[in-house]
Chain A
Amino acid sequence: MLHLEFMRLAFGAGIVVGLLAPAVGFFLVQRRLSLIGDGIGHVAFAGVALGYLLALPLVLTALVVSVLGALSIEGLRARRRAAGDQALALIFYTGIAGGVVLVSAAGALNVNLFQFLFGSILTVTRTDLAVIAGLGAGALALIAVLYRPLLAVVVDEEGARVSRLPVVPLNALTAALAAVTIALSMRVVGILLIAALMVLPVIAAGRVAWSMRSTIMISMGIGLASVLTGITTAYYANLPPGGTTVLVAAAAVLLAELLSAPAHLLNRRAR
């Protein structure tokens, strides 16, 4: 399998996304914003459509539009101009509707949009991989350097505000990281499924982890294993890689739930 270049490129992109998506998703899940990835994914669709219309690189336009959408959601939420789910709904539907209109205006409705909606990791090029690896490594480094303040906001946002941590910029950074992750992951699992790769490994890890730090590390491990298993299974069973990857991550949640059940029972009795 690895003698084929397109498979090597697919694994390369998959490794970056498998590590990055849960690392960013960790902060979203803890802030109970699990579905924000879905909302940004729909905005990314508008970005892809804009790329078609302006004949620009699609990852670039998706990246810019996703970051703007993510910052808009965070801005609406932070200013209490809309409840979190309302802000999400506004951006979510505006994104998908805008995408359809822009694709139509570009005369590209016949384009195979499926590759962006559900991923097309086997078509990743060397240039794609360079962009995904570069931006992905940068995003992971940023999370590592800012882990403590990001966690402080997750743990107690008002407490962080009172103690004068830069809460607004940190929340904006989290939203921007989510947008970058989604734009980079379009080719791997697709716009409609990327949120799953950000959330499911974190849910699974939370069942078996013993601390927040172990949660993020385990979730990255599960994300990586899901992508590698998903691509391999898809190759041999002739299945779509994006969907297969997400199903593997969902199976990891089920497995973690089963593994953690006895420990939960013991904990409840101990209390």
Chain B
Amino acid sequence: MPVAVRLDHVSFAYDHGALVLRDLDLAIDRGEFVAIAGPNGGGKTTLLRLILGLEHPTAGRIHVSLQRRGYLPQRAQTPIDAPLTVRELVGAGRVARSRLLGPASRTDRQAVRDAIERVGLSERADRRLSTLSGGQQQRAFIAKALAAEPELLALDEPTTGVDVEAQEAIAALLQRLGSELGMTILYVSHEFGAVEDFVERIVLIRERVVFDGPPADLPGIWHDPSHVHAAP
């Protein structure tokens, strides 16, 4: 399987502060569904932002071979209070794959409809985002990323504030979409219990990689990510 993302000896510090990531090596193959977990402040979000090109490493090299990238940031910056509909949100995601000038083409409108259908929100397509539940809102954001037909989908704590049932439903949805669409999925989560049954691989981060393997191989004590603080 060709490599989608490779990090070689990557270190990173914000504004010449302490290192958030230190000499980190990581390779992710195309089509993998990987959970990136670890304690708060361990560098998970920073790692994701580096992979997406939103930050640049202080040292080391990053190579991402996938050009079309979708991103769900940790706290959606979208003004949820604004009267934004699901269709408009998803349409905003489609712009990256369509012509910039003028109205959306028929193909673009169909792609938006398809993305909304994939996450099961067709009946709520013209509802305001603010009227949906937390889980439904996250599904809408996933549809927004899907509308651009990404090869790499990066999600940062996508289930924060969502109940366990909805967390598992979102993880199952991502697993299905990943295999249907052949996407590489990076799923950052503080708590990975909800995704454990759906991912092929868990990478635990605390400045560097402290565990990398299938969920079944994860030492029992680390199933509570707070213990990563005490990990060797």
Contact residues of A with B, CB < 8 Å? 30, 32, 145-146, 148-149, 151-152, 154-166, 206, 209-215, 267, 270-271
Contact = CB atoms under 8 A, between A and B. Distances in A.
A210 B125 CA distance: 12
A212 B104 CA distance: 15
Given A155-B89, A156-B78, A162-B69, A206 B104 contact: no
B131 to A, nearest CB: 6
Nearest to A26: B82
A30 B77 CA distance: 11
A163 B148 CA distance: 8
A93 B78 CA distance: 30
Interface string B91-111: 111011010111110000000
Which of A159, A160, A215 has the most CB atoms of chain B within a 10 A radius of its CB? A159
B84 to A, nearest CB: 5
B186 to A, nearest CB: 12
B96 A160 contact: yes
Contact of A155 (B92, B101, B104): B92
Contacts of A149: 95, 100
A49 B103 CA distance: 41
- Which applies to chain A's interface (DSSP): helix, strand, loop or mixed? helix
B77 A158 contact: yes
13 contacts: A146-B101, A148-B100, A151-B95, A155-B88, A155-B89, A158-B71, A159-B71, A162-B71, A163-B69, A165-B100, A206-B82, A215-B83, A271-B133
B5 to A, nearest CB: 14
A163 B92 CA distance: 11
Given A210-B83, A270-B131, A159 B101 contact: no
A271 B88 CA distance: 21
A209 B83 contact: yes
Contacts of A152: 92-93, 95-96
B70 A162 contact: yes
Which of A156, A158, A161, A215 has the most CB atoms of chain B within a 10 A radius of its CB? A156
A260 B96 CA distance: 34
A59 B92 CA distance: 36
